[in-house]
Amino acid sequence: MDDDLNDGKQQPESVAAVLKVFAILQALSERSDTGISELSVRLAMPKATVYRFLQTMKTLGYVHQESDSERYGLAMKVFEIGAKALQYPDLVDLSKHHMQMLADATGETVHLGTLIDSEIIYVHKVDSRHMLGMYSRIGRRAPLHCTAIGKVLMAWEHPERR
């Protein structure tokens, strides 16, 4: 049987360079302000390769480099692309006022999220006015069963999906 076939479906050929770029982006999303040596070890890539990719991504505006420490992080251009991936881009604008009213009434953090497979992705939040609050970050993923918003979203899913 042909190695390119899996369950009768043709699998797309991976392009090594694309896989490396996305591995770097993923690593920077998990820990910003990272050096080349650390990325090289974490991703099992030669330092020269990591450097070349980072320089290209920096030129294109997807990463930034701290001039004093020579560490790298994601640039706002990545956020711009991510924001365009929202299924309903006006949803945040439409919900801001209502979320603020709810946060004011309860004194608690209010989240807006979307369900992706078995995870929740935080799209927007209004922080609690209390010193002790819930730590969350826009764009971060979390398992459904670990979050209140995930449990609420699953409560409204079809019974088969639940």
- CATH assignment of the domain containing 149: 3.30.450.40
Is the residue at 45 inside a domain? yes
Q: In whole angstroms, what is the distance from residue 141 CA to residue 18 CA?
A: 22
Tens of each residue's pLDDT in the chain, 162 residues? 444 444 445 556 668 889 999 999 999 988 878 999 999 999 999 999 999 999 999 999 999 998 888 899 999 888 878 777 766 668 888 899 999 999 999 888 899 888 887 888 888 899 887 766 667 778 788 888 888 888 888 888 888 877
Domain match, 51 and 14 both: yes
Domain match, 77 and 94 both: no
Q: How many domains does the chain have?
A: 2
- State pTM to two decimals: 0.59
Paired sense of beta strands 119-126 and 141-143, if any: antiparallel
Domain match, 63 and 95 both: no
Q: In whole angstroms, what is the distance from residue 21 CA to residue 10 CA?
A: 24
> Residue 39's domain spans which residues?
5-81
Q: In whole angstroms, what is the distance from residue 27 CA to residue 23 CA?
A: 6
